[in-house]
A and B are shown apart, each in its own frame.
Chain A
């Protein structure tokens, strides 16, 4: 059963640009909800370079991706946005002028006046291993995430990868699986040392199998896996009978459902008007790395500017009868009240 959430503006993507949009909209009394496919806020700053330095945020000579995310969260706190993490926006339809209905893969429905797409390079999705015909098994036998552990009870499992996801699921699923084989390209694991030790103990007790190499072929029919071929680094190939395979190779950015929302696109980017950052659909905006216009630079600072201008136009949709008077946070008591400092 889906719940319907009403808000002024729905922001798709909780990266730095989506977060700062909360601030600019908030100053204009516009309420926001944000949806992000990751399990954390920060977008690429959190997923790709949390500990890496960023040197080109105006006024901040040096900050990490994590640091910038934290600072933005502190900055937007007065506006109390609601986050819907681990969810992907799947559909969007225009229901009014202005008005949109947006649904997520988590079963939520939003009704809002405006939508701001701040989706960066698209949605982070699991990397698919280049094994012939793997797509055919993806619904039934190949899983990139575990939603219900019970689904794997009594099954013969192959887990692929060397990070925490692969190790955690190996340790969690091994007790209920009929058999479990962990496949990794080298006999060295980047996951937590404690997990590595536990996994090695299970191997030593013959409770699971560890194979160094890669899965090179799948066998089965109608989407149901029967066996896979594991090629060792010495070239020998083992055939392992299997009911389900769980590959964990990290995430990659894919445009995803944005392409199906009826927005005019240009080579996977959304053309916008540079005065308002509105798309071809009135009330639907695109800011940050996902938009394009003459001279576009994929910089966080550009996305911040885009969010500020977007908010001015969004105000006209949310409060059509209110006149917007431009104010500075430095001198406006009314803005300072909203920020909780006056």
Chain B
């Protein structure tokens, strides 16, 4: 295999030198590839840690502890008049029924302090479900019914194993007695983890067992709706004008530089602008998704304009020439040919911009969307929160039970983001054209 032996080959020194370097070149290539692979694995590793932590912390928030109690729907207690008036049924003290049931279950608890601890096992809002049943069907009054009552968040944490039983009593939220009671109930099969409906259907609450993401989700939805309705048409129109109609001169250059700069402006600055402009000058309501949407529009517009211009630039000039060649006007060239071909790219950019807007929290803090919102907003003018802001608020709450809810809310937000980015990729695949 000595290169110098072949009569027609290049002179031996060249071959030898190339062969010498060849091994080194391949080694270098292998090293380079390994380096890239290592970087990728490093990134993936972090992502895996992130997801594992989130899921480990958050998955328990989708269920919550309920305790089975036999409630005697005593007519004397609910409706002493016996007239079954709605107002009476609504204001009756259902809490007392729960307390009675607890007393029947644990008759030996009599001391005032112990009684209060016993009552604390059940969520202060557990009576709402009893009341709903009675209001729906007053005929149940007088019967004894079994209810899976909402447990207090501390009991919930105990059942989910998030309270250390070996810690000294003073260092836990539950006393030894309370733990014993829960264990007794559990031994009877009266403690169970059930689907956490409140998490998906209610707004924020001071009681973690009642807190949910629905009002924040609706707020985010209204906000994105406003953002989409404003930023897509505005962004596309701007991009079309700049790309197809505007002359190239110093002014358009200046505008281009500014648009690129705006895309890089920290989002909190847009929040301040929104506060000054929309709330202080235009007098729009605070904490409203409308204002949030307007602020996010300011933030998303540059992204959409840049993506749309790139999509317009990608339409080959031959298509424009073809249309001009048969006598299409500038407007017809754009509307009939360029825009339809650029639209998938524009939509992809828009979805990515929207996904960014969905995850944005800083500018919303500036316009008062950080408020404590229990009610589900019914229009973009109602006070509302947003998903990322809700996460921020819960992360700030001291209750142990909010930890899992924070993680769960992050999981929900991530699911939305994955959905949107998936849609963007799908759209690109589906409509990608080759010329």
A and B associate: no
